[in-house]
């Protein structure tokens, strides 16, 4: 057995499930941040309601809203504990959002016909204080989420640098991969970190977090598509490394098969440029990448045994 091809074969084994490394951790951090933000909103709404109940002597519909919102928090925390992002998102946008609207409606109704004018100043002072607390909580939550995003990106690039070292040790020319990681740092991670550090309000943070995405997630910013770029380049470099030997063993058609999948994936990536890819296009691109990996693994096996 040719040791060169044995090592290349081993390098290809993990690529069957080629997905952006670090995405799971980022989603987990995002789920925790979303939960904390929901708690900020709920604490604010419950405190407003409790203040009105005390002032207006209303323990009916208003008080029932508190129980509903607290129950929502318990339900959402269950999804967080289970790391069920889809269920959490569906509950927030469906049930929880509606309950928040119901609570606001209940507050408006409670103000009617109860001498609210005489108590307006007292309630306003309470509201202003609570709103200040909420704003601070909301900003802190988003700031932490943004910082976690930066840390996740740094960790992901660090893992890729280690993988590049492994490839280089196997005789692969990794210059292009090193340059890709440097580019990702310069275009996404460094500016994201700098702007997050300078942000001092919620709107700035929201804009910044949708401005720099290492993978595929920003609607109005840079989608670097790092994982796809890395895998396409890596597979291409491995193919280049064995191409001459493969063709000398009459495996040119296999080489062309791998190259065809890579070219197809690259064309989809080029079409996206730095924009967000829709689910269908993203899935099609990764299907090409995985097909290229599978075909390349077979080619390596044939070449080493040919």
Q: What is the pTM of this model?
A: 0.77
**Residue 264 belongs to what domain range?**
3-20+151-305
Looking up tokens 């408006």 gives 108
pLDDT of the residue at 18: 41
Cα gap 233→292, rounded to integer Å: 11
Q: Which of residues 142, 173, 201 is at a domain's end? A: 142
Closest CA to 135 of 53, 35, 43, 52: 43
Asked whether residue 291 falls in the same domain as residue 159, the answer is yes
Name all contacts of 282-289 with Cβ < 8 Å and 24+ positions apart.
282/216, 285/228, 286/18, 286/19, 286/228, 288/261, 288/262, 288/264, 289/18, 289/228, 289/231, 289/232, 289/235, 289/261, 289/262, 289/265
| Domain match, 131 and 45 both | yes
CA nearest to 10, candidates 305, 218, 303, 301:
301
Q: Which of 90, 107, 142 is the last residue of a domain?
A: 142
Distance of CA 21 to the CA centre of its chain: 11
Do residues 13 and 44 both lie within one domain?
no
How many folded domains does the chain comprise?
2
Q: Are residues 73 and 124 in the same domain?
A: yes
Do both 34 and 120 map to the same domain?
yes
Residues 14 and 159 in one domain: yes
pLDDT in tens, 156-180: 999 999 999 999 988 899 999 999 9
- Over residues 45-71, the pLDDT tens digits come to 999 888 888 777 655 678 899 999 999
Whether residue 155 is found in the same domain as residue 195: yes
Give the tens place of pLDDT for each residue, 229-239: 999 999 999 99
* Tokens encoding 134: 């909420």
Which strand (E) or helix (H) includes residue 213?
strand 212-213
Q: Give yes or no: residues 12 and 161 share one domain.
A: yes
Q: Does residue 225 share a domain with residue 177? A: yes
Classify residue 128 by burial, with Cβ atoms within 10 Å: 0-12, 13-18, 19+: exposed
| Helix 279-305 × helix 252-272 angle, to 10° | 160
Q: What is the pLDDT of residue 248?
A: 93
> Which of 88, 114, 142 is where one domain is finished?
142
Q: CA-to-CA distance for 163 and 4, rounded, in angstroms? A: 17
List the chain residues with pLDDT less than 70. Answer: 1-29, 57-60, 113-121, 306
Cα–Cα distance for residue pair 69/100, rounded to 1 Å: 8
Q: Comparing C-alpha atoms, which of 33, 68, 63 is closest to residue 48?
A: 63
């Amino acid at each position: 057995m040719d040791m060169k091809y044995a090592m290349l074969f081993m390098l290809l084994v993990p690529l069957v499930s080629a997905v952006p490394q670090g995405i799971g951790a980022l989603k987990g951090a995002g789920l925790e941040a979303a939960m904390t933000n929901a708690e900020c909103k709920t604490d604010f709404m419950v405190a407003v309601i409790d203040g009105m109940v005390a002032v207006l002597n209303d323990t009916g519909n208003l008080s029932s809203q508190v129980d509903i919102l607290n129950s929502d928090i318990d339900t959402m925390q269950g999804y967080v504990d289970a790391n069920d992002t889809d269920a959490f998102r569906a509950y927030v946008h469906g049930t929880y959002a509606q309950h928040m609207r119901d609570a606001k409606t209940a507050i408006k109704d409670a103000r009617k016909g109860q001498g609210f004018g005489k108590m307006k100043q007292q309630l306003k002072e309470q509201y202003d204080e609570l709103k200040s607390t909420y704003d601070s909580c909301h900003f802190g939550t988003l700031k932490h989420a943004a910082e976690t995003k930066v840390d996740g990106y740094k960790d992901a690039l660090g893992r890729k640098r280690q993988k590049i070292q492994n490839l280089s040790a196997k005789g692969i020319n990794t210059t292009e991969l090193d340059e890709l990681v440097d580019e990702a740092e310069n275009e996404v991670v460094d500016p994201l970190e700098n702007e997050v550090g300078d942000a001092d309000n919620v709107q700035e943070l929201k804009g910044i977090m949708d401005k720099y995405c290492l993978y595929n997630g920003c609607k109005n910013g840079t989608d670097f598509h790092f994982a796809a770029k890395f895998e396409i380049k890596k597979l291409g470099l491995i193919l280049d490394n064995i191409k001459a030997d493969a063709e000398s063993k009459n495996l040119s058609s296999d080489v062309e098969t791998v190259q065809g999948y890579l070219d197809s994936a690259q064309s989809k990536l080029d079409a996206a440029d730095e924009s967000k890819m829709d689910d269908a296009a993203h899935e099609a691109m990764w299907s090409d990448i995985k097909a290229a990996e599978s075909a390349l693994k077979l080619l390596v096996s044939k070449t080493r045994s040919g």
